[in-house]
Amino acid sequence: MQTNKKQKIILGSSSSHRKKLLDKYLENYQIIEPNIDENLEYFEFNSKYSEELAKIKSHKIREKANGSIIITSDQIGVLDKKLLKKPLDHKNAIEQLLGYSNKQVTFYTSVCIYNQNSHIEYIHTDETLINFSKITYNLAEEYLTKDLPYNCCGSFKIEGRGLLLIDKIDTKDPTAVIGLPMIYILSILKELGHITS
């Protein structure tokens, strides 16, 4: 349960998926959208990329808050050393999903937790490996029609009907691929006294 500490918690995100995850554990927190440019130059597409974006979001929120605990996160998908982006429309989503057929995609989910009182920054990244099954056009169409994942990294969300598309998931935290590595976040919030065990 969340305690009645005065220090405010801020989720720096516009994602409804991240909000739903945090809602399960926190009753009182504020949302501030960071609104940053997520295109970084001179970065390889790996965990450092998602970590840097999470930190940039955190710094943007710090300008708007005082004395808070700020939680920001970013997720990227990587296939054949190429960055997977949000499809935004049906055509792009179909192309992405068909490209996953019988392949492994790596999702990096990074979180930055910053305590404005102690000035301590906590950085963590979860790596999720997803082995996709054979994806036909009809299967991709069925999935997209039901889940509408057009604003999701790589056209994929595990919390919906995404299990239809995969053979195997390798992860230490099943919430990470949804958008927030909650096992790590909860451990830090316990350490900071904001959640009692």
* Ranges of H-type helices in the chain: 16-23, 47-62, 90-99, 137-147, 182-191
Instruction: Compute the average pLDDT of residues 137-152.
Output: 92
Measured distance CA(6)–CA(129) in Å, rounded: 39
Distance of CA 145 to the CA centre of its chain: 23
Q: What is the pLDDT of residue 151?
A: 86
Handedness of CA 35, 38, 39, 42 (dihedral sign): positive
What's the number of CA atoms in the CB half-sphere (13 Å) around residue 131?
Answer: 4
Q: What is the pLDDT of residue 196?
A: 72
The verdict on residue 176 lying in a domain is: yes
| Candidate list 23, 74, 89, 173, residue with the active-site label | 74
Number of domains in the chain: 1
- pLDDT: is 169 or 38 the higher one? 169
The verdict on residue 197 lying in a domain is: no
Q: What is the pLDDT of residue 1?
A: 47
**Structural domain harbouring 160:** 9-191
Q: Is the pLDDT of residue 63 over 80?
A: yes
CATH number at residue 108: 3.90.950.10
What predicted TM-score, i.e. pTM, was given to this entire model? 0.89
The total number of residues shown for the chain amounts to 197
Measured distance CA(170)–CA(43) in Å, rounded: 25
Percent of the chain with pLDDT over 70: 93
80 labelled catalytic: no
The verdict on residue 3 lying in a domain is: no
From the number of C-beta atoms within 10 Å of its C-beta (0-12, 13-18, 19+), residue 111 rates as: buried
Instruction: Compute the average pLDDT of residues 26-49.
Output: 81
144 and 94 in contact (C-beta within 8 Å)? Answer: yes
